[in-house]
Amino acid sequence: MSARAGSLWERRVGHVALVLLLGGCSWDTPMSTVAGRSDFARSILDVYAIITWATVVIALVVFGVLAWVLLRFRDRPGAAMPRQTHGHTALEIAWTIAPALVLLVIAIPTVQIIFRTQAASVSPDALQVTVRGWQWWWEFRYPGLDVVTANELYLPVGRTVTLRLEGPDVIHSFWVPQLGGKRDVIPGRVNHLSFTPATPGEYRGQCAEFCGASHANMRMKIVVVPPDAFDRWVASQRTPGLEPSGAAAEGKAIYARSACVGCHTIRGVSSGTIAPDLTHFGSRATFAAGLYPNTVDDVAAWILDPVAMKPAAKMPALGLTPAEARALATYLTGLK
């Protein structure tokens, strides 16, 4: 009886382990590296495919020969010792050349794609975006369009974008698996990353170079939209927000007289440069690098105690009252 119960328990553990294991196999997940949605990501997948198929062929040959040898030369009662070979020039040349050929088959497309994806875009009409990786959020500046945002990058589908990656503090790495390879963001050095998004949609990204306590909380969202929707987004980002009224007007007054102005920019109100630009904060779906939905409750909680919501966040609690934080949150979430 107890033995049966034991095996049932073991089976359950087995099932859970299987579910966890297979969970890693899903194909088209937000952080999937095998569901390419840009030319860059697809080039990488092409190399994956070549290497995978080359490996499959090699495995079939090696295991086939191994099986044949095991069967052909297995010990039989009364069988004589098989003929022994010491030194076989043809064989040795063959097993030197074969791996060299395999390496060539892998190396040529790999190097080609490395060169293609490392080149800064030459396309004159590529969209230019400056990306700054900060501990622990992303700043996106569109120099030609006079738009600045944080953690949510809008891109038009089908148009090449060239990202200029700048690191104001420590090393980070820009990584949006479905759109392209990782590229490091390094202080004192400018890196570039170009790709052409192929399909509209929302893509998730994540800092991929350990950069401190909230590295895992340094996420981003790339929103790829049709060109006319992109133009509308740009136009709304360039339009100054409406003058707030009621609780939001009170929030604006608190903002203007608090330390917020030293770090944050709200056009027409403040021009801090070391924190997310809040001019159109309310137009973003999430805040704190993708950690929280952009609601009055969550933003008020953030203003009261940022570090409680994001370990080591570089924004201090400023000792405001809950009522002040709420007024501020009402003002900020209204900045569409």
DSSP 197: B
User: Is 37 or 215 the residue whose CB approaches ligand HEC more closely?
Assistant: 215
Q: In terms of C-beta density within 10 A (0-12 exposed, 13-18 middle, 19 or more buried), how is residue 126 classed?
A: middle
Of 299, 264, 43, nearest to 148 by C-alpha is 264
Q: How far apart are CA 336 and CA 334, in angstroms?
A: 6
Q: How many residues bind Cu ion (CB under 5 A)?
A: 5
Q: Which does 163 bind (CB under 5 to 8 A by kind): ligand HEC, Cu ion, none?
A: none
The size of the chain, in residues, is 336
Residue 207 found at the interface with ligand HEC (CB under 6 A): no
Residue 283 found at the interface with ligand HEC (CB under 6 A): no
Residue 316 found at the interface with ligand HEC (CB under 6 A): yes
| CB of 131 closer than 8 Å to CB of 142 | no
According to CB under 6 A, which one of 140, 174, 175, 255 is a site residue for ligand HEC?
255
Residue 141 found at the interface with ligand HEC (CB under 6 A): no
Q: Which does 262 bind (CB under 5 to 8 A by kind): ligand HEC, Cu ion, none?
A: ligand HEC
Q: How many residues bind ligand HEC (CB under 6 A)?
A: 30
Pairing of strands 286-287, 292-293: antiparallel
**Subset of residues 148 to 187 that bind Cu ion, contact rule: CB under 5 A:** 172
Query: Binding segment for Cu ion among 217-225, 238-246, 249-257, 263-271 (CB under 5 A)?
Result: 217-225
User: Is 215 or 219 the residue whose CB approaches Cu ion more closely?
Assistant: 215
User: Is 131 or 299 the residue whose CB approaches ligand HEC more closely?
Assistant: 299
| CB of 328 closer than 8 Å to CB of 316 | no
Q: How far is the CB of 267 from Cu ion (least distance, A)?
A: 29
Give the Cβ contact number of residue 235 at 10 Å.
11
C-alpha dist (Å) from residue 4 to 7, 11, 14 = 5, 11, 15
Residue 154 found at the interface with ligand HEC (CB under 6 A): no
Q: How far is the CB of 157 from ligand HEC (least distance, A)?
A: 24
Based on C-alpha coordinates, what's the Rg of the chain? 28
Q: How far apart are CA 125 and CA 131, in angstroms?
A: 18
Q: How far is CA 264 from the centre of its chain?
A: 25
User: Is 111 or 213 the residue whose CB approaches Cu ion more closely?
Assistant: 213
**Subset of residues 295 to 314 that bind ligand HEC, contact rule: CB under 6 A:** 299, 302-303, 310, 313-314
Query: Binding segment for ligand HEC among 12-20, 23-31, 82-90, 273-281 (CB under 6 A)?
Result: 273-281
177: its two tokens: 């698996």
Amino acid (one-letter) located at 179: L
Beta bridge partners of 163: 129, 193
Residue 211 found at the interface with Cu ion (CB under 5 A): yes
Q: How far is the CB of 176 from ligand HEC (least distance, A)?
A: 18
Residue 207 found at the interface with Cu ion (CB under 5 A): yes
Residue 124 belongs to what H/E stretch?
Answer: none
The 3-state DSSP composition of the chain as helix, strand, coil percent (nearest 5) reads 45, 20, 40
Of 249, 237, 250, 323, nearest to 284 by C-alpha is 237
Q: How far is the CB of 314 from ligand HEC (least distance, A)?
A: 4
Q: How far is the CB of 278 from ligand HEC (least distance, A)?
A: 6
* Interacting residues with Cu ion (CB under 5 A): 172, 207, 211, 215, 218
* Interacting residues with ligand HEC (CB under 6 A): 136-137, 150-151, 255, 258-260, 262-264, 275-276, 278, 281, 284, 287-289, 299, 302-303, 310, 313-316, 318, 328, 332
